[in-house]
Amino acid sequence: MTTTVPPVNTEIENRKAEHLRVCLEEDVEFHHVTSGLECYRFSHCCLPELNLSDINLQTTFLGKTLGAPILISSMTGGTELAKLVNTRLATVAQRYRLAMGVGSQRIAIEQPHLASTFAVRSFAPDILLFANLGAVQLNYGCGFDECLHLVHSLEADALILHLNPLQECVQSRGDTNFRGLLSKIAKLCQQLPVPVVVKEVGNGISGVMAQKLIDAGVTAIDVAGAGGTSWAKVESERAQDNKQRRLGQTFADWGLPTAECLNSIRAVAPTIPLIASGGLRNGLDIAKAIALGADLAGLARPFLQAAVESEAAVDELVEILIAELETALLCSGHATLKELKGSNALQRVVAG
């Protein structure tokens, strides 16, 4: 769908607006790498001995009770369109008791008057809400005080630090100094009064890296694997020179598939709170991710597309996701997410 992005006045606001425009209007999906979830299917249970009304999607994550294991993944903020999007998303998240993250709040540090574009707590007083900052900004002037300010200004329950080395390499004038970040993340985990969640932005987190992050004190991990939106493609679309454009095209399909990330992290960390995101597009994908060991499932682009249309479109999307997830549980013979996660209902399909 085509969306008109209102004009903006500064470079950083322009970047935010361009990210929205490109994600909505351009082909920025992975083409050759998928989430890997299509490689799995459920064993069908023809007689589940359940009523659909018996299905219970309620879960708990980081101490908060959710109506369904759905995270409206971190997307945006910093522009008037972003404010509208965040307001609509938060309103629906409150209605269904879903978790929600906002986009990177770096702009709110540099331009405090734009903090209101992220402020959604008044619309969603009870949801699990995540503040968000690029981890690399810990090497560019942001520290404990700035992170605490972002958490407090949003009234957030936790802070997401996102890792995006590929995006920063492709982005014109990106912040590419990732040296020494692990120790800074560890220090922040000790200092902040709220949990720290680390996520990628669509290229995945391996089991080896997850273990390092866990050892550093991270409370939860969002794998954000390959298979959905390629931020190398996004930055290539808005590149200001041919080199950056070529970089984005070359690395358009770089990353670890989401299913592979889930398997490798669960192999080394069976109990770490785990979010699956990256290429999830429906409730069946959510069910597969839960069966592979995720506690929560995040979607971004489907929610963005709905939110720019209307609050009603977001509401309809959630209803569909829930219906798909409930159907997957019923037809695989599980009444709860706990049963699904602990089952062997998911089988890997042999290609060919």
In a domain, 138, yes or no: yes
pLDDT in tens, 264-286: 999 999 999 999 999 999 999 99
In a domain, 255, yes or no: yes
Q: What does each C-alpha distance from 282 to 97, 186, 286, 287, 302 come to in angstroms? A: 18, 35, 7, 9, 9
**What is the pTM assigned to this prediction?**
0.94
Per the domain annotation, does 5 fall within a domain?
no
Short-list 105, 42, 58, 99, CA closest to 78 = 105
Average pLDDT rounded to a whole number, residues 246-262: 97
Distance CA 131, CA 133 (A): 7
Tokens of 192: 């902040």
pLDDT confidence of 216, banded at 50, 70, 90?
Answer: very high
Distance CA 280, CA 34 (A): 10
Kindly state whether residue 50 falls inside one of the protein's structural domains: yes
CATH code assigned at 247: 3.20.20.70
* Model pLDDT, residue 352: 44
What is the number of structural domains in the chain? 1
Maximum distance among all Cα pairs of the chain, rounded to whole angstroms = 61
> Look-up: residue for tokens 């560890």?
186
What pLDDT shows up at residue 13?
A: 75
| 95-149 pLDDT per residue, tens | 999 999 999 999 999 999 999 999 999 999 999 999 999 999 999 999 999 999 9
Contacts 24+ apart (CB under 8 A), 12-18: 12/78, 12/106, 12/107, 12/110, 12/111, 13/78, 13/79, 13/107, 13/111, 13/114, 15/238, 16/76, 16/77, 16/78, 16/79, 16/82, 16/103, 16/107, 17/79, 17/81, 17/82, 18/238
In a domain, 222, yes or no: yes
Please tell me the predicted confidence (pLDDT) of residue 169.
97
Average pLDDT, integer, range 196-204? 98
Is residue 215 assigned to a domain?
yes
CA 300 to chain centre: 6
For residue 6, tell me if it sits in a domain: no
Task: Check: CB of residue 283 under 8 Å from CB of residue 322.
Answer: yes
* In 27-143, alpha helices (H): 80-96, 106-110
Q: Is the dihedral of CA 197, 342, 54, 50 positive or negative?
A: positive
Res 5 pLDDT > 90: no
Whether 181 contacts 122, CB under 8 Å:
no
Task: Decide: 253 and 228 in contact? Cβ < 8 Å.
Answer: no
Tell me the average pLDDT of the chain: 94
**pLDDT beyond 80 at 11:** no
The range of the structural domain enclosing residue 261 comes to 11-348
For CA atoms 207, 213, 217, 218, give the dihedral sign.
Answer: negative
pLDDT tens profile 43-102:
999 999 999 999 999 999 999 999 999 999 999 999 999 999 999 999 999 999 999 999
pLDDT given at position 12: 67
pLDDT at 171 over 50: yes
- 2 within domain boundaries: no
How many angstroms separate the Cα of 119 from the Cα of each of 28, 82, 131, 144, 153?
A: 28, 11, 10, 20, 8
* pLDDT band for position 193 (cuts 50, 70, 90): very high
